[in-house]
A and B are shown apart, each in its own frame.
Chain A
Amino acid sequence: MPMPSPLAVLALIAVAVLVAGYRARVLIAAIARAPAAHRWDQPWQRLGFVAREVGLHRRLLQIRLSGSFHLMIFCGFVVLFSAIVADFGAGLFPGFSLHAIGGDTWIALLQDVFALVLLAAIGLAIWHRFVIRPARFAGSRTTDATLIYLFVIAIVLSMLTEAASGIAAGNVAGGWRPVSGALAAALTGAGLGADGAAALHAGATWVHMLAILGFLAYIPGSKHRHMFTAIPNIFFRPLTPRGVLPAPPEARGQVGISKIEQFTWKDVLDTASCTECGRCQAACPAFAAGQPLSPKKLIMDLRDRIMADAADSAGPLLGGTISEQTLWACITCGACMTVCPLHIEHVPKIVDMRRQLVEEARVGPGLQDAFANMQRTGNSMGKPARQRARWTKDVGFKVKDARKEPVDILWFVGDYASFDPRAQRITIAFAKLLHAAGVDFGILSDAEQNSGNDIRRAGEEGLFQTLARSNMDALSECTFQRIVTTDPHSLNALRQEYPALGGAHAPVLHHTDLLLELIEAGALKLKPGSGATVTYHDPCYLGRYNGGFGAPRALIERAGYRLHEMPRNRENSFCCGAGGGRIWGDDTGVTERPSENRIKEALALGDATLFVVACPKDMVMYTAAIEALDVRGKLAVRDIVDLLELAEA
């Protein structure tokens, strides 16, 4: 068999590019016609991030095994790209070689070594997918993955054979190619003559080129697209703070998304980049609870809908491609977005679709009641506004009304902390601590309304705007230096969402920050705690969304307790199940409540007797979970405030 002629190579490349282009046309067209997303700001920062993220494989390596073999494959591809250049270069321009830059020395060595690394990595990947079979792959396309393994194996083996037969035929220098050299020796030993070797060399070169071009043509329809889309997708990731949910773009002309074409080009790129790795699904509390939501499946379904290229024949997007139950199941905990190696944005898509459901009044009864209550009274419980400050009657001193006199610290109390008896206890205890520390603080009293954080995430954008404006107006009429809240949801709205709406930029503290500050300044003196072992649950909107990991832990230590971390902590915390409006939804179809799953995790630690929280909703959710699991004797829920006992004066 002769070596491929330049014309043949050119023709093959042309065919492969045409096929690849044809297969990618739907995606390219979808990106080209999709509405704008503004993602070109701060290009250098973006580039730097891409380099770090891809180079260090930070998110991928959070799962050790698959992260490692991905890194091996990634490096293998980079190195073997040189073989592609060499082969196609020589194929198109006879005489071309990488000799001048080390094609026969160090590059040759690298190619040989990384051929083995790649084979080993593919072996691991196959073992991982077909023997270990992690649950996160459920729902991913196995055939696609298998075909990719076969392509890679074909490419590597043909490359090795090409080099080995080249050495045997005397066309290729063998000095720097230990693996191909050994293979060449084996081939010669098996009786391969010079002619046979030359024929094998030509054949292997053909196979190598065909395998590469076949792979190229295959990629656009496969999850392996991420070879091309991952870097741009990470480059165009949102730079806005995590806690700010994008507002509906004016140009859309409607609040939510009801048609697939309304997703921006970045959304389309997101769906095209998903590798179906299932990390998001494994982290998703809604999925774990047996709800019909897998963030992976959601992205795959949107992608398939985009790729189907038959928008009108495919039925409705909402309630069709994506079911309403799927959309309402999300707790907006953000775990999916934190683990996705491609930095895909699941939550904004879910919320955009929810917004449309809300516009069309396709809302469950629990949520509808909460919305209607909030429209009427400014809180989800429908309590009269004037009862908001009723808890102040039980603190034993007068709590200032910040609307009437200036205060140093304005306390934004929040709905649960104001109205729910289980959370009120903490509110009162915190007020007493502030009083003891001599803090000059006040509240908005009945001018405070729900912060709107969860309402926004439940898709009720208009109501969020109304609540936010009302709170911002109330705040702007008071004089204060800083804001504090015990409620992470309010914290997120006040710290992140309101400034994005043009609200003032006063520092917003979580009560754990303020308490730590007071203790460090000596304003609060604590009684030494019991030394008991406790565990701590990071609330999503304090931890993952606002980076508040340190203060609660420092307080636990200062209070004299020993912290035993649960396996899922900090960024990887597991949501209690109350966020994003889910607290007002019903539990239909839930096989295991996220809060109960979490309590079991704490029980499995073996030695923790207190389950420490830092969010009023957690107090409510976990108290209920402990009752439901009937483990009252083993574990008790405490807010951090409960751990802080004042030393006798």
Chain B
Amino acid sequence: MHAAVVLRLVPDIADDLEISESGNDIDREWVGMKLNEFDDHALEEAVLLKERAGASVTAVALDGDGVDKLLQSAIARGADRVVKITYDELPPLPAAAAVAAILADAIQALGADVVLTGVQTPEDAGGQLAAALGARLGWPHLSAVAGVQPAPDGLIVRQEHSGGYATRVHAAGPVVLGVQSASQPPRYVSGSKLRQAIGVKPEKRAGGEAFAGPVAMVRRLAKPASGGGAAMWKGDADAVADQFVALLRERGLLKG
């Protein structure tokens, strides 16, 4: 089994965000970038597949600022190989379909038979990348994945749905997975492993042709309008606690 994991750097949305002048993006100049949290889980699940079923793991990412460091950390985590995909041009806020077009050829050329990536990112809130990759590759895709088990003839994929429901899907052939959570929390990678990985130079591969079809675009970003629902409680801790208890009671969350 050869698992390709797609990793993406995304703006750290724990920062204070500003909307850019164009009105359809955030001001990126001062925003820190970090590995997309769901991609982190996808990488963990791939490394677990390596440990449980001997899969080989290749981490891929679109070329860009900070990507070498990102891919080196994937090596420290247990990826066997890291590849950055170069491309000619991408719009400033590329839609998943455009990214998938660049990635799919390279992934196919690598000989991967399962692709894992995060179910969504702050920029791909609709979770389209896994689906678009599936479409490009002509493979089935599964989202909301919460763990993968190796089976004799493929994979057993667990999907988690709202309301406490889960499904187990038997994927017998190549498949693209949008991972929501790994079967165990992503492991910590020590600084000394990271330091060892600093020497690794990611391979470069040219991506596919840019996508020419129509894509979704962000037209406008806006800060949430503040509603009238907030009430400020004043007074010392006891007074605030009393009000809090009263509210819980009023909403029926507290009995007696």
Which A residues are closer than 8 A to B by beta carbons?
A: 255, 358-359, 361, 363, 368, 371-372, 375-377, 382, 384-386, 460-466
Contacts and interface: CB of A to CB of B under 8 A. Distances in A.
B195 interface: yes
Contacts of B32: 376-377, 384-385
A465 B195 contact: yes
A368 B191 contact: no
Interface stretch (B110-118, B154-162, B170-178, B182-190): B182-190
17 contacts: A358-B188, A359-B190, A359-B192, A361-B188, A361-B189, A363-B188, A371-B191, A375-B191, A384-B15, A384-B32, A385-B32, A462-B190, A462-B193, A463-B191, A465-B191, A465-B195, A466-B191
Interface of B: 12, 14-15, 30-32, 34, 187-195
Given A385-B32, A386-B30, A462 B14 contact: no
A107 to B, nearest CB: 61
Contact of B192 (A368, A384, A462): A462
Contacts of A466: 191, 194-195
B44 to A, nearest CB: 11
A134 to B, nearest CB: 41
B30, B32, B188, B194 interface centre (most CB from chain A within 10 Å): B188
B144 to A, nearest CB: 24
A464 B31 CA distance: 25
A361 B187 contact: yes
A382 B32 CA distance: 10
B66 to A, nearest CB: 11
A472 to B, nearest CB: 15
A63 B192 CA distance: 43
Given A376-B34, A377-B32, A462-B195, A382 B190 contact: no
B14 A382 contact: yes
A370 B217 CA distance: 37
Given A382-B14, A384-B15, A462-B195, A358 B34 contact: no
B190 A460 contact: yes
A361 B76 CA distance: 12
Given A371-B188, A385-B32, 19 more contacts: A359-B190, A361-B187, A363-B188, A372-B188, A375-B194, A376-B32, A377-B32, A384-B15, A384-B30, A384-B32, A386-B30, A460-B190, A461-B191, A461-B192, A462-B191, A464-B191, A465-B192, A465-B195, A466-B191
Contacts of A463: 190-191, 194
A460 B191 contact: yes
A382 B192 CA distance: 20
B124 to A, nearest CB: 21
A98 B201 CA distance: 79
Contact of B190 (A358, A384, A386): A358
B12 A361 contact: no
Nearest to B33: A376
A385 to B, nearest CB: 7
A276 B187 CA distance: 39
A453 to B, nearest CB: 14
